[in-house]
Amino acid sequence: MSKVAIITGGGSGLGQATAVKLAEKGINIVIVDISEEGGQETIDLVKKAGSDAFFVKADVSKADEVKKYVDQTVEKYGTIDYFFNNAGISGSGKQFLDTDIDEIETIVGINMLGALYGMHYVADVMVKNGGGSIVNTSSSAGVIGQSTVVTYSATKHGIVGMTKSMVAEYAKDGLRVNAVAPGPTETPMVKKYFEDNPEMKESAEQGIPQKRLGTPEEVAELVTFLLTSDAPYINGDVIRIDGGFTSTK
């Protein structure tokens, strides 16, 4: 029987690239995103790669919508083997004291609460079924401090804590939980951030020892490795994939 993976934020960027990589391994995919257009685009790519898939439109900051995508997955496939807990937004790039409270609440709602809700409902299914593998998306801003992303950084540091603490509680039940911490990567979210803050792109590229941004496909290779049984004894780790961006920080 084919394995089953849920990917949040699966309509573009890291989520879409990972969906294709997993589909190439014959894994059935559930794509969760707020964008129907992006979600359906990913579904088409997954089916082209030879795997079954369906799309659930959801706002991950709402617990009932998170429960819905989990329930629909179990109803169709009976289980959840892999979870890429990936949905997130970056924010406007304003200095923290100039940031509106509404923006702070939105970033925390999607990046932190959305990840916690996903972990809560998915891990419950996995533990009851004997285990599973989860990869959470942190960031270089989740392992070091960075200017203009205070709220985003707070949520991504929170992802690191959530990852490690879930392992402390549930590794004995067959759960593996790891996190990836990408540096600046050529995703739609990052491209939009750099369009709004052009001075930050040059600064980022100059700060990366490899002198280029990462690609979604490079991150997807790592996520796929961590999710699948190729990495059965890696647990509770946070792996940086940033071209050396945080290596000297």
Q: How far is CA 240 from CA 64, 121, 214, 237, in A?
A: 32, 26, 12, 10
Residue with tokens 């082209």: 48
Residue 205 neighbours by CB distance under 10 Å: 16
- Distance between CA atoms of residues 238 and 234, nearest Å: 10
Decide if 23 contacts 29 (C-beta within 8 A): yes
Q: Which residues belong to the active site?
A: 152
Per-residue burial over 79-104, b if 16 or more Cβ lie within 10 Å, else e, is ebbbbbbbbbbbbbbbeeeebeeeeb
Beta strand pairing status for 4-8 and 28-33? parallel
Largest CA distance in the chain: 52
Tokens in use for 146? Answer: 């960075």
Q: Sign (positive/negative) of CA torsion 136, 132, 222, 40?
A: negative
* Alpha-carbon distance values, 230 to 102, 121, 156, 172, 237 (Å): 42, 25, 26, 19, 15
B/e letters for 208-243, b = 16+ CB within 10 Å, e = fewer, are: beeeebbebebbbebbbebbbeebeeebeebbbbbb
